[in-house]
């Protein structure tokens, strides 16, 4: 005669504890050190990703290993040292992403079975190490949160690629969810507007216009169907509407181009230079595509583009901080996570 075994007893005898939920915040990545060696390791991983550089053929490998990784790391290491968090010996991106994780954990602490962690797509802590840590804590469900408001194959998709690669090697896989892009989410647009207005109020000048600078991408990636450009435009349009600005007062540009291919235009640096030449004397730049300040915002915009602006006749320049772990920024992440956890909590 068979005897019914209670489910909880069966779980206990099988070594299965009560299920927990892992929430993993993921940002792009950073070198482990602000020296040539650290940057070289980081760039090799980043530029060897076929989502970032799609043609990984022999010619690219020769250029990458024979030229780029011999020259670029030393120059980029100097740039990193300009913004490096010397107290923690890490990049600001790592400092901020950790803070976002800690604040999110505190904000949803009433859900005791939810564990929040963070990772970098390139560099450390790796996605693999954090998924392993979460599953070791009994997480049988996993919500991955790519911290990119706008989707692109070179950012959001490559996070998923790495998550899938880790899960492919696991016998007992956690159930997986991934948050969608939030480029036109009302909470995100509101947070941007509140953050911009709060920073503008602290400036000793009134900017004549605001430049919304997004990370660039090769035009051919868009031609192949990447929705990134359309989502950047949608973000800018929604922000204009929320702030009551027309297209001449809040303009969209793309920064950080690399190589010789045509990238999305207009280019930020060329636009900043031309505006100064055309007589604009006071400018602010916001970077809505970045959830946390990093090399591209703190050095490329706040320092390099500020210098370009002033060199061409501009006088006052302000780089508006990213949402980071500010109250409006954390509200965006919290609302996004709680929405995607529905049915699990």
| Binding-site entries for Fe(2+) | 215, 296
3-state DSSP assignment of residue 238: helix
Cα distance between residue 111 and residue 60, in whole Å:
48
Cα distance between residue 245 and residue 250, in whole Å:
6
H or E element, residue 135 = helix 127-136
Report the length, in residues, of the chain. Answer: 345
Check: CB of residue 177 under 8 Å from CB of residue 231: no
In the annotated binding site, the residues are 215, 296
Residue 101 dihedral angles phi and psi, to the nearest 5° = -65, -45
Q: State how beta strands 20-30 and 139-146 pair.
A: parallel
Q: State how beta strands 250-255 and 282-286 pair.
A: unpaired
Please state, as a whole number, how many other Cβ atoms lie within 10 Å of the Cβ of residue 323.
27
Dihedral, CA of residue 330, residue 328, residue 124 and residue 31, to nearest 10: -170
Check: CB of residue 217 under 8 Å from CB of residue 229: yes
* Separate counts of helices (H) and strands (E) for the chain: 14, 8
Tokens (6 digits) for 161: 């690629």
Burial class (CB in 10 A: 0-12, 13-18, 19+), 139: buried
Residues 6+ away with beta carbon under 8 Å from 230: none
Check: CB of residue 253 under 8 Å from CB of residue 296: no
Residue 172 dihedral angles phi and psi, to the nearest 5° = -100, 90
Task: Give which of 184, 253, 250 is closest to 216, Cα–Cα.
Answer: 253
């Amino acid at each position: 005669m068979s005897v019914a075994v209670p489910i909880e007893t069966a779980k206990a005898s099988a070594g299965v504890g009560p299920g927990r939920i892992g929430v993993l915040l993921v940002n792009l990545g950073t070198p482990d050190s602000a020296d040539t060696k650290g940057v070289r390791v980081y760039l090799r991983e980043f530029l060897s990703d076929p989502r970032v550089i799609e043609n990984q053929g022999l010619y690219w490998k020769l250029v990458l290993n024979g030229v780029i990784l011999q020259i670029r790391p030393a120059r980029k290491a100097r740039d990193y040292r300009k913004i490096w968090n010397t107290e923690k010996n890490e990049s600001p991106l790592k400092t901020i992403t950790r803070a976002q994780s800690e604040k999110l954990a505190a904000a949803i602490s009433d859900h005791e079975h939810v564990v929040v962690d963070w990772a970098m797509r390139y560099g450390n802590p790796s996605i693999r190490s954090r998924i392993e840590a979460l599953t070791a804590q009994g997480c049988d469900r996993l919500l991955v949160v790519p911290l990119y408001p706008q989707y692109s194959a070179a950012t959001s998709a490559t996070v998923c690629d790495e998550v899938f690669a880790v899960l492919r090697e696991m016998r007992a896989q956690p159930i997986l969810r991934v948050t969608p892009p939030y480029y036109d989410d009302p909470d995100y647009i509101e947070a941007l507007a509140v953050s911009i207005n709060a920073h503008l109020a602290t400036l000793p000048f009134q900017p004549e216009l605001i430049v919304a600078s997004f990370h660039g991408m090769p035009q051919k990636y868009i031609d192949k169907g990447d929705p990134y450009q359309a989502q950047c435009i949608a973000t800018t349009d929604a922000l204009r509407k929320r702030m009551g600005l027309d297209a001449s007062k809040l303009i969209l540009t793309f920064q950080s181009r690399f190589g010789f291919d045509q990238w999305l235009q207009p280019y930020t640096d060329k636009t900043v230079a031309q505006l100064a030449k055309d007589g604009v004397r006071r400018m602010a730049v916001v970077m809505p595509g970045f959830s946390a300040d990093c090399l591209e915002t703190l050095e490329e915009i706040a320092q390099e583009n500020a210098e370009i602006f002033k060199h061409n006749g501009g006088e006052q320049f302000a780089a508006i901080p990213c949402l980071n772990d500010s109250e409006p920024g954390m509200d965006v992440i919290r609302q996004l996570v709680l929405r995607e956890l529905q049915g699990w909590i």
